[in-house]
A and B are shown apart, each in its own frame.
Chain A
């Protein structure tokens, strides 16, 4: 019973990961607008063809209050306080396709227009920059009273969907990779932190046999951390192929990650070249401390101050900025904890394995 409690964190880790993987596979994607194409724009008439992703334009509405209210569409003026122009008619072609018509004056006060759609099931969806209007005259259009629509929130539909991951343009289904890619790096940071802690303490002046144990721990932590780092590179590369169109792009965050992995491969090489335990402990501890500082510089400091495509770096917001309180958090936080617990477990196993190896080696020598 006691040992069951002692090892319970391992079960928690496995359960969390099982939960996370079932979320990754089972949770559907939320609705979103993939794009809108200008079909016709002349004589004060505008026709847009809108493509939706996982939307339900044509689905039957069961709720009576919603059924009475129609699907509505608006053009939204550029800017945070932009005004709206309501569509004249909406034709539903399928659940993923709408054709929307507007009557527009010849001149409009701004150039760039977004599209807002409100439907009974999907709620409010929006996409920026669907229309670039010329000419621009920075004054009220003559028929402005007819043009602008005041939206009363009570007339709009709330989203009626069950649990889903949020739609992100270009990322789409690959948002599920968030639960694999990001925790890999968090776990690597944790393990490299354990490694550098053991390296620092192994350099303390008086420790005797205990120091060699710390050296074993540092090596095991770096070994498992390196595995997570390489997995992070692979998941990241797949994600880059899907969202940015290339397996690798010249980006400070990506290059920093690659260099970090190379630095730790150097650490493993250094260990492999030295035969003497005591000397290996000292050399690799010194190099490990150096490597950890480079890791901090390359992955946490340098990308923040340079331009980067990567979310959360170089002025880009991280995902949480878009999805506060979303379903993503229910999967992401357990994923981080689960991967960290698994990494720690692997690290402890690796330490035990190395100790047994050394015991066997000393037995064989005598």
Chain B
């Protein structure tokens, strides 16, 4: 546990030390929303707004997953191999990646509200939408962390993460879009809680998979 906490702290420290990484992600998300605003030239209708929100979140998560991590360097991996078990590392990575995506999702929703309007959401339902975005971020993070590790080990970079990841996250995106349009059409959180439960299951399921399978990727 202590090791995991230390690793998470270490990840944050690395993130802040080379802050252009996270700054680039934030810029990407906000610039995409702004571009969408420029292209549409106003506030889109709720269905488009919903689709846009999830698709931008999806691409942001891909960007975030395919950043090169310091541990992917062969020398750093050899060092870590001696000091921590791979399971601790994957837990730390997943938590770190999820927290990054939670921050990005909140910023994304803020930017959407600023440029593209709130699609007739009330202040309460915006909160619910945010809950959905956060859970989606966690589900995406837990799937993509493992896939990013695979493609980093394969030495193929961004393209491979997208090829491997896009089909696998379609269930997540389908459920989130359903949740989003439920909220937009005026259902309450309780009425759409099935979707949230399903997202949670997907998040937990893929985290468990990462936990079980990551050591096989790490060992060499």
Do chains A and B interact in one complex?
Answer: yes
Report yes or no: B154 in contact with A263, Cβ–Cβ below 8 A: no
Report yes or no: A283 in contact with B167, Cβ–Cβ below 8 A: no
Contact residues in A for B205 (Cβ distance below 8 Å): 293
Interface string of B178-220 (1 = CB under 8 A from A): 0000000000000000000000000001100100010011011
From A100-108, A113-121, A267-275, give the one contacting chain B: A267-275
Contact residues in B for A289 (Cβ distance below 8 Å): 209, 213
Report yes or no: B171 in contact with A297, Cβ–Cβ below 8 A: yes
Chain B contact-residue range equals 20 to 34
Report yes or no: A266 in contact with B171, Cβ–Cβ below 8 A: no
Tell whether B52 is near chain A: CB-to-CB under 8 Å: no
A286: contacting residue among B150, B156, B167, B168, CB under 8 A = B150
Chain A contact-residue range equals 20 to 34
Give Cα A266 to B166, complex, Å. Answer: 9
Report yes or no: A283 in contact with B146, Cβ–Cβ below 8 A: no
Q: Report A261 CB to chain B, min CB distance, Å.
A: 9
Give Cα A316 to B150, complex, Å. Answer: 39
Q: Report A161 CB to chain B, min CB distance, Å.
A: 46
A263: contacting residue among B153, B167, B220, CB under 8 A = B167
Known contacts: A282-B217, A290-B209. The answer to whether A262 contacts B167 by CB under 8 A is yes
Known contacts: A274-B154, A294-B168. The answer to whether A269 contacts B160 by CB under 8 A is yes
Tell whether A287 is near chain B: CB-to-CB under 8 Å: yes
Tell whether B163 is near chain A: CB-to-CB under 8 Å: yes
Report yes or no: A286 in contact with B171, Cβ–Cβ below 8 A: no
Question: Which of A255, A260, A262, A266 gathers the greatest number of chain B CB atoms within 10 Å?
Answer: A266
Query: Which positions 103-134 of chain A face chain B at CB distance < 8 Å?
Result: none
Tell whether B164 is near chain A: CB-to-CB under 8 Å: yes
Q: Report A286 CB to chain B, min CB distance, Å.
A: 5
Tell whether A233 is near chain B: CB-to-CB under 8 Å: no
Q: Report A103 CB to chain B, min CB distance, Å.
A: 51
Report yes or no: B164 in contact with A266, Cβ–Cβ below 8 A: yes
Interface string of A247-286 (1 = CB under 8 A from B): 0000000010001101100100110011000010011011
Tell whether B55 is near chain A: CB-to-CB under 8 Å: no
Q: Report B216 CB to chain A, min CB distance, Å.
A: 5
Known contacts: A273-B154, A283-B150. The answer to whether A302 contacts B171 by CB under 8 A is yes
Tell whether A342 is near chain B: CB-to-CB under 8 Å: no
Query: Which positions 190-217 of chain A face chain B at CB distance < 8 Å?
Result: 203
Total number of residue pairs linking A and B with CB closer than 8 Å: 65
Contact residues in B for A286 (Cβ distance below 8 Å): 146, 150, 213, 216-217
User: CB-nearest residue of chain B relative to A298?
Assistant: B171
Q: Report B3 CB to chain A, min CB distance, Å.
A: 23
Contact residues in B for A302 (Cβ distance below 8 Å): 171
Known contacts: A273-B160, A279-B153. The answer to whether A294 contacts B171 by CB under 8 A is yes
Q: Report A218 CB to chain B, min CB distance, Å.
A: 14
Report yes or no: B164 in contact with A287, Cβ–Cβ below 8 A: yes
Contact residues in B for A283 (Cβ distance below 8 Å): 150, 153-154, 217
Contact residues in A for B170 (Cβ distance below 8 Å): 255, 259, 298
Give Cα A203 to B168, complex, Å. Answer: 21
Question: Which of B160, B166, B167 gathers the greatest number of chain A CB atoms within 10 Å?
Answer: B167
Contact residues in B for A269 (Cβ distance below 8 Å): 160, 163-164
Give Cα A290 to B216, complex, Å. Answer: 13
Q: Report B137 CB to chain A, min CB distance, Å.
A: 19
Give Cα A279 to B164, complex, Å. Answer: 17
Question: Which of B151, B153, B170 gathers the greatest number of chain A CB atoms within 10 Å?
Answer: B170
Report yes or no: B168 in contact with A270, Cβ–Cβ below 8 A: no
Q: Report A290 CB to chain B, min CB distance, Å.
A: 6
Contact residues in B for A293 (Cβ distance below 8 Å): 205, 209
Report yes or no: A270 in contact with B154, Cβ–Cβ below 8 A: yes
Contact residues in B for A203 (Cβ distance below 8 Å): 216
Question: Which of B150, B151, B160, B219 gathers the greatest number of chain A CB atoms within 10 Å?
Answer: B150
Give Cα A91 to B33, complex, Å. Answer: 70
User: CB-nearest residue of chain B relative to A290?
Assistant: B209
Contact residues in A for B155 (Cβ distance below 8 Å): 273-274
Report yes or no: B156 in contact with A290, Cβ–Cβ below 8 A: no
Q: Report B62 CB to chain A, min CB distance, Å.
A: 14
Contact residues in B for A297 (Cβ distance below 8 Å): 171
Query: Which positions 292-331 of chain A face chain B at CB distance < 8 Å?
Result: 293-294, 297-298, 302
User: Nearest 5 A-B pairs (CB), nearest first?
Assistant: A262-B167, A263-B167, A273-B156, A286-B213, A266-B164
Given A282-B217, A286-B146, A293-B205; 17 other pairs, CB 8 A cutoff: A255-B170, A262-B167, A263-B168, A266-B168, A269-B163, A270-B164, A273-B154, A283-B154, A285-B216, A286-B150, A286-B216, A287-B147, A290-B146, A290-B206, A294-B167, A294-B171, A298-B170
Interface residues of B (CB under 8 A from A): 146-147, 150-151, 153-156, 160, 163-164, 166-168, 170-171, 205-206, 209, 213, 216-217, 219-220
Interface residues of A (CB under 8 A from B): 203, 255, 259-260, 262-263, 266, 269-270, 273-274, 279, 282-283, 285-287, 289-291, 293-294, 297-298, 302
Return 6 A-B CB contacts under 8 Å, by A number: A262-B166, A263-B167, A266-B164, A289-B213, A294-B171, A298-B171
